[in-house]
A and B are shown apart, each in its own frame.
Chain A
Amino acid sequence: MKLIEIVFFFFAIQLLSSALVILFTRNVVYAAIALMSTLLGVAALFVVAGSDLLAVVQLVVYVGGVLILLLFGVLYTYRDPESYFEKKHVLLSIVTVVCIAGALLFLLSDLPFNYPQLETSPHDATGITKRTGYLWITNNLLVFEVVAVFLLVVLVGAGWIASHVLDKSKKDV
């Protein structure tokens, strides 16, 4: 077994087990930490797949942004200690996981995944970063710009919604 495979399996097991922790833990804070672990694992898989830039983006945006947001959410929605804990549905969860995974594995097991074959060898790390940037402002320029508009709208809209929490003058309906 090559080293890269070992690394792959390690991180795969790590991210899956962290994911299972989210599924089974009763404490929402633990879950947030486990989510971080999962996201890290995914980032590692990105590295294994040769996308260093994406791994970095994953760390910055997900771990640095989404996760923090979720933690804020945990804090904001604190009601009492009990509210952090909830009843588990172990059996149901396991059944769900097994069913979905089984079905998908069964359906996709013998598919000829026809991923692009290149004449040249895989990109090196710097090449990918550069090319990513190039592609974003050329071929995928439209996507890039629309995402900008999208984020602007989300920003304004989320502000509108959330501002209600700060608005003391409004009464709860």
Chain B
Amino acid sequence: MIPIDYYIIVSILLFSIGSAIVFTRRNILYVLMGIELIFNAANINLVAFGQLDPYLNGQLFSMLIITVAAAESVVALAIVIVLFKKLNTIDLNEITQLKEK
């Protein structure tokens, strides 16, 4: 059996890479990908911890996350498309109409 720490390390790394994508990439689609990576990092943890859980909470939770993440992506994509139609860009550096004056 793989020591639990390995999973955690992988998950932490995945989380940090996901965060870095969210923080630095300018394209909304990248950001969405980054968020998916963060979700996956949580999933890895949950599954790893849930290996020995008789009620399988970890697995069930990560299944829930996957579903919700999918739903969120749907909403995000819908908005991205409208946004692109309105602003003709999906670069976050250019979507700065709302800001402190």
Contacts and interface: CB of A to CB of B under 8 A. Distances in A.
A interacts with B? yes
Interface of A: 4-5, 8, 12, 15-16, 19-20, 22-23, 28, 31-32, 35, 38-39, 42, 45-46, 48-51, 53-54, 57-58, 61-62, 65-66, 69-70, 72-74, 76-77, 79, 83, 86-87, 89, 92-93, 96-101, 104-105, 108, 113, 115-118, 122, 128, 131-132, 135-136, 139-140, 143, 147, 150-151, 154-155, 157-159, 161-162, 164-165, 172-173
Chain A interface, >50% SS class = helix
A157 B75 CA distance: 8
Contacts of A115: 4, 48-53
Interface residues of B, number: 71
Chain B interface, >50% SS class = helix
Given A101-B12, A165-B85, A61 B67 contact: yes
B81 A66 contact: no
B20 A93 contact: yes
Given A16-B10, A38-B40, A161-B78, A69 B73 contact: yes
B56 A131 contact: yes
A25 B73 CA distance: 21
Interface string B10-35: 10111111111101111101101110
Contact of B27 (A50, A86, A157): A86
6 contacts: A42-B43, A45-B7, A54-B59, A108-B8, A108-B12, A143-B60
Given A96-B23, A101-B13, A151-B71, A73 B29 contact: yes
